[in-house]
Structure 1
């Protein structure tokens, strides 16, 4: 307190001296005064300019927390390119899981946040993890930066990350689901790789492709409370309300497209016998990679994370020609291209002291940075034709037989796929998934019909949502 009073007194003395000097100077000649004023103004301007340059050149370090490891994300080259073009921003990379385990990474991220560690950029692997941390207050809205640049996220990117009317992330990679196609088996059945098709046509293809040696298709779920995409087949072809929960937080099992999905699964397995039996999937612990590469199924619905293995690997050799077909549409819906999509959600931490620099990094990473990284198809719509083809070439070149992949069909599907509107997860969602699997198993094992299945799901989901 004494020190504070002392310095206040010193400041007062200097102010008085300044006033007295100013009063005594009033008698000076005009030219001298003008010269003095000009000199003072010049000094002030120089000081301001110097301060602006200092502000612009001031170095900051942003801490970037990610689940992605070096092998999968090429961070050294990617971050190096950013720092080269932004010499005043250093990126401190914190890899939360060296093996790329997203669950381990999220646990460590939550622990770091609870411990009050400094954070600037956060990377999430799924919409549930992203939305949950937004609701917990870990993530800052970035609307002001987007508005300042003057672009619209839904036009700039293939994935719209809006939550409750605000933006908290920009999307990185773009991994839509598609249909892996065994072109050799299609040729035997005199079928072409579809460039667009409906679920009815998908079912017809699967039926024609089924022989004594193989099934027309293979569905890798549901199992273990996961892989629920296989019970949202027709739902996922919609732009809005494409999941078990609607955007308003209520259950969606009354949607005609959910019923259609159950009808398809039942018909393909029991009547057409064109899909691998559900009991075989669970009892034999089958996997989509072995089913496709061993040619035990001609059509396999899966996510485009498979791009890195399409040309075959040492573990899964490729002995046939591969094509890519788009995710089927709902007949007469007028909606095409919609499919389940996974992406990386790049966010600014709410407690960041360098929000502008953090935003600058995520904006660069989700645009030019995706091209530099060269590991995934970007969500950014600004990728040129040449860059897009180059990225696909780079991805396929890491496989054993890239020449066996129909690159044109792959590019066509990736370019024309679209993500449905993001639906925030709700409390009790994991419990609902378990109920869905249990009721589906009763249906597929012949213990109940579709009407009873839907009725049970509507009732149980409503109770779970209400209790949470």
Structure 2
């Protein structure tokens, strides 16, 4: 497993600074030796915080555990995975409210919580219980911080391209098994038809409304790998040709080929990619496993075409990281101040392996290597999947053996995202050429990153 040393974050805002100051206590990697699971007749009550609505699987998972383990009873507490929701979680941790286990949905959030002393190292528990991380999750599934293991990923988040197979067949185009952005643009052009209200777009690179940063992030990381936005000297990496290349691609799709809705139109009319795709207005559409529920929902989205699947395009033929911006997620952790760490570890081992099966139907593909792939596919795609899906291409993209990107640097990431969104939109509306936009991105990001040096 890759071992890194966590970069020291300048924790912003008073709350985060207080968290760092109040972490207190000894935070070593050995099991606490607490006796909460050993007292005869005592029922340990855990609180497990996560962001998935309980009706989408967590309640069933917790109920399954509680039925089989009367001595350790778990209650699921939901927080919304946005800024206010994450603040709610961190406030509860700071205030000493009961949070025994919690799931992190962004690595930068997890990294700050580790630095603030809020997360229990797991190495002692792993060693004592003989829990083989490599065997269960793979050699490169976990990033270590300060040579310690703080989390286990519960799922793999897969993004891929959905394709209307009827339109593919009409254009005599095969289902791509590996492709570049050049080939993607060629497909988009060939699949575009008509004009005006009757136009069928070849491509729409979003789940809902356009998100420039999110898809730039996915594209450049296939080529640049982890920490794509940063150089070793602490400056930004926006002068790498990969960034200009991506904006050139998006400009060509929208302005030159007219194969993708212009961003101004998409934002003004609040275009939703999944709705366009399921009403035959878009031939290729970026999607994640969680959004497959919409394709299965033929009541609200009646359609009779088969959806096929392709992996994210590579930026160049030599791109190494085919996983791009996808990868391990649902980073499951134990609160460093939990009074029930031994019991929490028992539940955690179960949850990240067989225990989170009830969440699969909602599109959360287990990171556990021993999960039954046929069963996972069946749970996600539903009954009689061949009526709506090309099952073989689905399995190829969802269970692909690829090297996922695992970032370790997050300095000023929120501000950098805002810069990318602003400069990228200027490119796509024709206000700036791509070379000027990436130059501005570099200058603005460097001012942030190097301003304190």
TM-score calculated relative to the size of structure 2:
0.81
Deviation at 1:161, TM superposition (A): 4.4
> Tell me, which stretches of 5 or more residues in structure 2 are unaligned?
1-34
If asked which structure has higher relative contact order (CA below 8 Å, sep 6+), I would say 2
Q: Deviations over 1:365-392 (max 9, x none)?
A: 1111133544331011111xxx322232
Q: Which runs of 5+ in 1 are unaligned?
A: 1-50
Instruction: Give the match for residue 415 of structure 2.
Output: 431
Q: Which residue of 2 aligns with 1:156?
A: 137
Q: Once the 2 structures are TM-superposed, how far is the Cα of residue 145 of structure 1 from its aligned partner?
A: 2.5
Cα 1:169/1:247, change in 2 over 3 Å? farther
What corresponds to 1:209 in structure 2? 191
Contact 1:237 1:338 (C-alpha < 8 Å) held by counterparts: yes
Q: Does the 8 Å CA contact 1:181/1:323 hold for their aligned counterparts? A: yes
1:239 to partner: Cα distance: 6.9
CA distance in 1, matches of 2:401, 2:290: 14
Change over 3 Å in CA distance of 1:247–1:129 after alignment to 2? farther
The answer for the alignment partner of 1:381 in structure 2 is 369
From the superposition, tell whether residues 105 and 186 of structure 1 become closer, same or farther in structure 2 (CA, over 3 Å): same
Structure 2 equivalent of residue 463 of structure 1 = 447
Deviates more, 1:196-205 or 1:82-91: 82-91
Over 3 Å counting, the alpha-carbon distance change for 1:161 and 1:305 in structure 2 is: farther
2:63 is equivalent to residue 80 of structure 1: yes
Counterpart secondary structure, 2:305: coil
Provide the residue aligned with 2:349 in structure 1: 363
Q: In the alignment, is the contact (CA less than 8 A) between 1:311 and 1:404 conserved in 2?
A: yes
**1:329 is aligned to 2:317:** no
2:261 is equivalent to residue 276 of structure 1: yes
Supply the RMSD in Å over aligned alpha carbons.
3.0
Distance 1:233 1:66, change over 3 A: closer
Give the distance between the partners of 2:149 and 2:233, measured in 1 at CA. Answer: 18
Partners of 1:313 and 1:192 lie apart in 2 by 26
Selected match of 1:263 from 248, 251, 271:
248
Residue 203 of structure 2 corresponds to residue 237 of structure 1: no
- Among residues 371, 377, 389, which one is paired with 1:405 in the alignment? 389
Contact 2:189–2:202 (CA under 8 A) maintained in structure 1? yes
Residue 124 of structure 2 aligns with which residue? 144
Name the counterpart of 1:452. Answer: 436
- 1:368-426: CA deviation from partner (whole Å, max 9, x where unpaired): 1133544331011111xxx3222322232289x76221122111110006463322463
Q: Give SS of 1:171's match.
A: strand
**2:120 aligned with 1:131:** no
The yes-or-no answer on 1:90 pairing with 2:73 is yes
Contact 1:176 1:418 in 2 (8 A): no
2:148 is aligned to 166
- After TM superposition, give the deviation of residue 85 of structure 1 in Å: 4.3
| Bigger shift: residues 132-141 or 275-284 | 132-141
Higher helix share: 1
CA distance in 2, matches of 1:353, 1:250: 42
Question: Distance in 1 between the 2:223 and 2:127 partners?
Answer: 29
Distance 2:188 2:179 in 1: 13
State the Cα deviation string for residues 142-168 of structure 1 (Å, max 9, x = none): 122234425345971584343454322
Q: Which has the larger radius of gyration?
A: 1
